[in-house]
Amino acid sequence: MVNLMSGDSFHPPVRTLMGPGPSDMNPRVLAAMGRPIIGHLDPAFVGMMDQMKVLLQYAFQTENELTLPVSAPGSAGMETCFVNLVEPGDKVVVCINGVFGQRMKENVERCGATPVVVEDDWGQPVDAQKLDSTLAAHPDARLVAFVHAETSTGACSDVKTLTQVAHAHDCLVIVDSVTGLGGSELRVDDWGVDAIYSGTQKCLSCTPGLSPVSFGPRAVERIQSRKHKVQSWFLDLNLIMGYWGSGGGKRAYHHTAPINALYALHEALVLLHEEGLENAWARHRHHHEALKAGLEAMGLALLVEEPHRLPQLNAVKVPEGVDEAAVRTRLLQRYGLEIGAGLGPLAGRIWRIGLMGFACNAKNVRLCLHALESVLTEMGAPVERGAALPAAERIYGVTA
Ligand SMILES: *Cc1c(COP(=O)(O)O)cnc(C)c1O
């Protein structure tokens, strides 16, 4: 029984977070959250938010004016894109290759629009050819939505090509890059992405509860020429634009910003800028290579085929006869290590090992390989012993 009168402060256990998010936070980001609160209309806060916009533009590789953190988690960023860009009666092509594509379809329906689905197997990227033929069959479609980095499977889809296909059919795109941002190559302007949303607790390694979004000129034009009012008051960008504004204009009260969480996001983006975006992408690939070498040496296989793998989310097939949940429980109890379970049709069939942001480092790769080998061996699973760590060390250039 929880004793509500005990009066004890909550002290969470120390964990290593290698699941599908949240990921471990850099101490600098945690420290930023502990700084004194100021008013959200305080000139100092407004100045911080102006810097935040520039840092977000860098992370997204865009000059879009309408680039800001929505004051709610990634799911709200998703909803912001749909409620602002979709009108009742619209036809929207939704690409589904995992959990988050399904949620996009749900959003389209709730906007009173008609979804047309392009379906790919879980673990596969979105097929550009299929999207092309679907759009040819539905010339009245106005919008295409797809996921860049499908966290439920570890598959990476080709944002650039899919956007080109959509534009060739006069459609705008909404891209989910909640897990992509900061971990995989993403170039919003070069690739012509019209609307994109992300999250803070994946490769940005920040506190959950914020959703960076960015909208290009054609998306803004569509939002401003809507025939129907956006049905969500809170997420209506026409109102939010007046709040975040740009160029030091007067800010009207809309809602109270999550001030200390925004300090954290600012610091996380400063860290990303210090490292350099391309260096961050390369770091994710490097540690993924080491993890993959170790897992394969142990005899484990990855779900996604080589060219489409996300470095930051490794879907590992559970060996025949192994109780995957018992493995995760033991990893958590003995090593304080969290990895993720499979979802939907992949429940019980895969583990999801995240290498996101601050958690993407050699120490975590070594811990995970050692812990997994030890627990699987103990449970009688058919794994090769003593091979995983040396295989990872070869990638790191360490020879025994
Ligand atoms: C985590 C995630 C979301 C949802 O983000 P929340 O912050 O949990 O609301 C959406 N899309 C993808 C691809 C994700 O990985």
Is 352 annotated as ligand-binding? Answer: yes
* CA–centroid distance, residue 359 to ligand 1 (Å): 17
Q: What is the pLDDT of residue 247?
A: 44
Q: What is the pLDDT of residue 2?
A: 61
Q: Give the position, in ligand 1's atom list, of the atom nearest the Cα of 200.
A: 7
The total of other beta-carbon atoms located within 10 Å of residue 231's CB is 14
Asked whether the predicted pLDDT for residue 107 surpasses 90, the reply is: yes
C-beta 181 within 6 A of ligand 1:
no
Compute the distance between CA of residue 144 and CA of residue 148 in angstroms, rounded to an integer.
Answer: 13
Q: What is the pLDDT of residue 275?
A: 98
32-48 pLDDT, tens per residue? 999 999 999 999 999 99
C-beta 175 within 6 A of ligand 1:
no
Q: What is the pLDDT of residue 3?
A: 64
Q: What is the pLDDT of residue 242?
A: 74
C-beta 179 within 6 A of ligand 1:
yes
Q: Are 392 and 365 within 8 A, CB to CB?
A: yes
* CA–centroid distance, residue 246 to ligand 1 (Å): 27
C-beta 176 within 6 A of ligand 1:
yes
* CA–centroid distance, residue 354 to ligand 1 (Å): 14
Q: What is the pLDDT of residue 251?
A: 76
Q: What is the pLDDT of residue 4?
A: 64
Q: What does the angle CA 294 – CA 299 – CA 304 come to, to the nearest 5 degrees?
A: 80
C-beta 21 within 6 A of ligand 1:
yes
Residue whose CA is at the smallest distance from ligand 1 atom 2: 178
Q: What is the pLDDT of residue 31?
A: 98
Asked whether the predicted pLDDT for residue 7 surpasses 80, the reply is: no
Asked whether the predicted pLDDT for residue 340 surpasses 80, the reply is: yes
Residue whose CA is at the smallest distance from ligand 1 atom 3: 74
Which architecture does CATH list for 277-396? Alpha-Beta Complex (3.90)
Ligand 1 test: best mutation among 71, 100, 174, 177, most atoms within 8 Å of CB?
A: 100
* CA–centroid distance, residue 197 to ligand 1 (Å): 10
Compute the distance between CA of residue 33 and CA of residue 264 in angstroms, rounded to an integer.
Answer: 5
C-beta 208 within 6 A of ligand 1:
yes
- Element of type H or E holding 176: strand 172-176
Q: Give the position, in ligand 1's atom list, of the atom nearest the Cα of 98.
A: 13
From the list 160, 201, 198, 154, the residue with the least C-alpha distance to 176 is: 198
What mean pLDDT is predicted for residues 302-329? Answer: 97
What mean pLDDT is predicted for residues 94-109? Answer: 98
Compute the distance between CA of residue 80 and CA of residue 244 in angstroms, rounded to an integer.
Answer: 15
Work out the pLDDT band at 323, boundaries 50, 70, 90. Answer: very high
C-beta 75 within 6 A of ligand 1:
yes
C-beta 104 within 6 A of ligand 1:
no
Compute the distance between CA of residue 327 and CA of residue 325 in angstroms, rounded to an integer.
Answer: 5
* CA–centroid distance, residue 199 to ligand 1 (Å): 7
What mean pLDDT is predicted for residues 50-56? Answer: 97
* CA–centroid distance, residue 122 to ligand 1 (Å): 17
What mean pLDDT is predicted for residues 377-395? Answer: 97
* CA–centroid distance, residue 178 to ligand 1 (Å): 6
Q: What is the pLDDT of residue 253?
A: 84
Mean pLDDT (the chain) is 96
136-191 pLDDT, tens per residue? 999 999 999 999 999 999 999 999 999 999 999 999 999 999 999 999 999 999 99
Ligand 1 test: best mutation among 75, 102, 210, most atoms within 8 Å of CB?
A: 75
CATH number for the segment(s) 27-273:
3.40.640.10
C-beta 199 within 6 A of ligand 1:
yes
What mean pLDDT is predicted for residues 323-340? Answer: 98
Please state the domain extents for the chain. Answer: 27-273, 277-396
From the list 104, 101, 143, 106, the residue with the least C-alpha distance to 126 is: 101
Q: What is the pLDDT of residue 400?
A: 64
Q: Give the position, in ligand 1's atom list, of the atom nearest the Cα of 73.
A: 7
- Intrachain domains 27-273 and 277-396 with the same fold: no
C-beta 73 within 6 A of ligand 1:
yes
Residue whose CA is at the smallest distance from ligand 1 atom 15: 151
- Element of type H or E holding 175: strand 172-176
Asked whether the predicted pLDDT for residue 248 surpasses 80, the reply is: no
What mean pLDDT is predicted for residues 236-251? Answer: 73
Counting other chains too, the contacts that 378-387 makes at CB distance below 8 Å and 24 or more residues apart are 378/330, 379/322, 379/323, 379/326, 379/327, 379/330, 381/319, 381/321, 381/322, 382/299, 382/319, 383/298, 383/299, 383/300, 383/319, 384/297, 384/298, 384/299, 387/297, 387/298
Q: Give the position, in ligand 1's atom list, of the atom nearest the Cα of 201.
A: 7
Compute the distance between CA of residue 371 and CA of residue 87 in angstroms, rounded to an integer.
Answer: 50
What mean pLDDT is predicted for residues 2-15? Answer: 82
